[in-house]
Chain A
Amino acid sequence: MSAVLSLRQVSKVYGAGNAAVHALRQVDLTVDGGELVAVMGPSGSGKSTLLTIAGSLEEPTDGEVLVCGDDVSTMSTDAQARMRRRAIGFVFQDLNLLAGLSAVENVALPLELDGVGARAARAAGMRVLEELGLAERAAAFPDDLSGGERQRVAIARAVVGDRRLLLADEPTGALDSANGEAVMRMLRAACKRGIAGVMVTHDAQLASWADRVVFLRDGRIVDQTASTGPDAMLAGDVAP
Chain B
Amino acid sequence: MSIRHALLALLAEGSKYGLQLRQEFEARTGEVWPLNVGQVYTTLQRLEREGHVESDETERDGAQRRYRITVGGERELDRWLRTPPGATPPPRDELVIKVQVAVRLPGVDVREILQVHRRRLVEEMQRYTHLKAEADPDDIALGLVVDAELFRLEAVVRWLDAADARLRRLPATPPVAVEAAPSDPARPSGPADREPTESTPAREGARR
Contact = CB atoms under 8 A, between A and B. Distances in A.
Nearest to B208: A44
Interface residues of B, number: 30
Interface string A205-232: 1011110010101100011111010000
B203 A21 contact: yes
Contacts of A213: 119, 122-123, 126
Contacts of B115: 215, 217, 222-223
Given A185-B133, A202-B161, A228-B130, A207 B122 contact: yes
B199 A204 contact: no
Given A42-B161, A188-B133, A208 B126 contact: yes
A27 B134 CA distance: 32
B154 A205 contact: yes
A16 interface: no
A217 B198 CA distance: 11
B70 interface: no
Contacts of A19: 206
Interface in B128-146: 128-130, 133
A208 B165 contact: no
Interface in B166-208: 168, 198-199, 203-204, 206-208
A177 to B, nearest CB: 8
A215 B118 contact: yes
B30 to A, nearest CB: 23
A168 interface: no
A91 interface: no
B88 to A, nearest CB: 27
B207 A44 contact: yes
B198 to A, nearest CB: 8
A42 B203 CA distance: 14
Interface secondary structure of B, over-half rule: helix
B122 A21 contact: no
Nearest to B111: A217
Interface string A11-33: 00000000101000000000000
B157 interface: yes
A218 B203 CA distance: 10
A208 B123 CA distance: 7
Contacts of A40: 122
B126 A205 contact: no
Given A209-B133, A217-B199, A42 B153 contact: no
A35 B161 CA distance: 26
A215 B118 CA distance: 10
B74 interface: no
B164 interface: yes
A188 B134 CA distance: 11
Nearest to B199: A218
Nearest to B164: A42
A209 B111 CA distance: 24
Interface string B95-130: 000000000000000010001001101110110111
Residue of B111, B126, B133, B153 with most partner-chain A CB within 10 A: B126
Nearest to A227: B126
B158 interface: yes
A153 B26 CA distance: 45
Given A202-B161, A225-B123, A228-B130, 16 more contacts: A42-B164, A42-B168, A44-B207, A188-B133, A204-B122, A204-B125, A204-B157, A205-B151, A207-B125, A209-B126, A213-B123, A215-B115, A217-B111, A225-B119, A225-B122, A228-B126
12 contacts: A40-B122, A204-B153, A205-B154, A207-B125, A208-B122, A209-B126, A209-B129, A209-B133, A217-B199, A218-B198, A224-B119, A226-B123
Interface of B: 111, 115, 118-119, 121-123, 125-126, 128-130, 133, 150-151, 153-154, 157-158, 161, 164-165, 168, 198-199, 203-204, 206-208
